[in-house]
């Protein structure tokens, strides 16, 4: 299926690894010019090479901390300068600390809000004028299934990410009809974060092998496996494209059917 985004300009935040990187690869594979960002220059360059290996268009990488408004301003402006405009924005963010409510202090809450919410707000504010000028303006925000069903031990994600969903639903009406806005709710995907958690379980003796760890993470998923990050990336590429031109304001789970709500 031709998604019709060949030659379009896309920006993906927090995209040097994990689901952000997969999203950038999926868009690049469809012919979009893609701008990625991350904090680590080494990891960012490796990510740029990985995206470029499947790209039909241009790929640029820029060091940026998404909890810094000035970094986001620069990221959007330099992406527009490089590509001559901006058609698609995918907002992603790193994980926040796990733990119960009583484990979190005030600083944890403020840091999580900057990471998950303000990075999203700043990106949309800066990108909005350029998306309005596009004939294909779209926003897709990567959140988590925790916005639908709270996950034990993830109070910050459970609570703070819901603000992103509220923002997406609001701007899907305010920015329409020129710009569509949607969110994806990923479940477990085999990202470096999941790999790290399984390795930690191995170290604690919870699993006898990496495969056993994968089986544990898959236990409550009807499809009996966790996702490949590119499966999430493909969903984002579709939502960004004209093929999804009547999809606006949705929060779409991509979780193998784990959610019961």
Confidence of residue 261 (pLDDT cuts 50, 70, 90): confident
Domain boundary assignment for the chain: 9-189+227-254, 190-225
- pLDDT computed for residue 244 by the predictor: 97
**pLDDT of 186 above 80:** yes
- pLDDT computed for residue 90 by the predictor: 98
CB 26 within 8 A of CB 237: yes
pTM for this predicted structure: 0.95
* Phi, psi (deg, nearest 5) at residue 157: -65, -45
Question: DSSP assignment of 44-67, as one string?
Answer: HHHHHHHHHTT-SS-EEEEE--TT
Confidence of residue 193 (pLDDT cuts 50, 70, 90): confident
Compute the average pLDDT of residues 30-59: 97
Sheet with 88-91: strands ordered across: 59-63, 33-38, 9-12, 88-91, 138-142, 180-186, 251-254
9-189+227-254 maps to CATH 3.40.50.720: yes
Question: Percent of the chain, pLDDT > 90?
Answer: 92
| Tokens 């039909």 sit on residue | 56
Tens digit of each residue's pLDDT (9 = 90 or more) over 199-211: 988 998 999 999 9
Which two structure tokens, joined as six digits, stand for 241? Answer: 């494209």
Tens digit of each residue's pLDDT (9 = 90 or more) over 80-102: 999 999 999 999 998 898 899 99
Tens digit of each residue's pLDDT (9 = 90 or more) over 217-250: 999 999 999 999 999 999 999 999 999 999 999 9
Q: Crossing angle of helices 119-133/162-174, nearest 10°?
A: 20
- The Cα 140–Cα 142 span in angstroms is 7
**pLDDT of 2 above 90:** no
Strand, helix or coil for residue 183? strand
Going by C-beta distance under 8 Å and a sequence separation of 6 or more, which residues neighbour residue 214?
A: 190, 198, 225, 226
CB 147 within 8 A of CB 191: no
- pLDDT computed for residue 94 by the predictor: 84
**pLDDT of 120 above 90:** yes
**pLDDT of 1 above 80:** no
- pLDDT computed for residue 107 by the predictor: 97
Helix (H) or strand (E) holding 193: helix 192-203
What's the chain's average pLDDT? 96
């Amino acid at each position: 299926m031709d998604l019709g985004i060949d030659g379009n300009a896309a920006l993906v935040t927090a995209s040097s690894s994990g689901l952000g990187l997969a999203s950038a690869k999926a868009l690049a594979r469809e012919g979009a010019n893609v701008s990625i960002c991350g904090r680590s220059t080494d990891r960012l360059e490796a990510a740029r090479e990985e995206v470029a290996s499947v790209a039909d268009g241009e790929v640029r990488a820029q060091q940026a901390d998404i909890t810094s408004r000035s970094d986001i301003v620069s990221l959007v402006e330099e992406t527009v300068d490089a590509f001559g405009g901006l058609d698609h924005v995918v907002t992603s963010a790193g994980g926040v600390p796990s733990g119960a409510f009583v484990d979190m202090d005030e600083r944890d809450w403020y840091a999580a809000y900057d990471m998950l919410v303000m990075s999203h707000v700043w990106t949309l504010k800066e990108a909005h004028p350029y998306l309005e000028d596009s004939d294909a303006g779209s926003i897709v925000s990567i959140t988590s299934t925790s916005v639908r069903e709270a996950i034990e031990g993830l109070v910050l994600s459970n609570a703070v990410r819901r603000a992103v969903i509220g923002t997406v639903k609001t701007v899907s009406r305010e920015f329409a009809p020129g710009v569509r806005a949607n969110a994806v709710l990923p479940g477990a995907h085999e990202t470096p974060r999941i790999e790290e958690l399984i390795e930690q379980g191995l170290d604690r003796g919870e699993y006898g092998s990496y495969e056993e760890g994968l089986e544990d993470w898959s236990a409550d998923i009807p499809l009996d496996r966790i996702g490949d990050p590119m499966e999430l990336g493909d969903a984002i590429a579709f939502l960004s494209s004209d093929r999804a031109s009547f999809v606006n304001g949705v929060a779409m789970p991509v979780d193998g059917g784990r959610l019961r709500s």
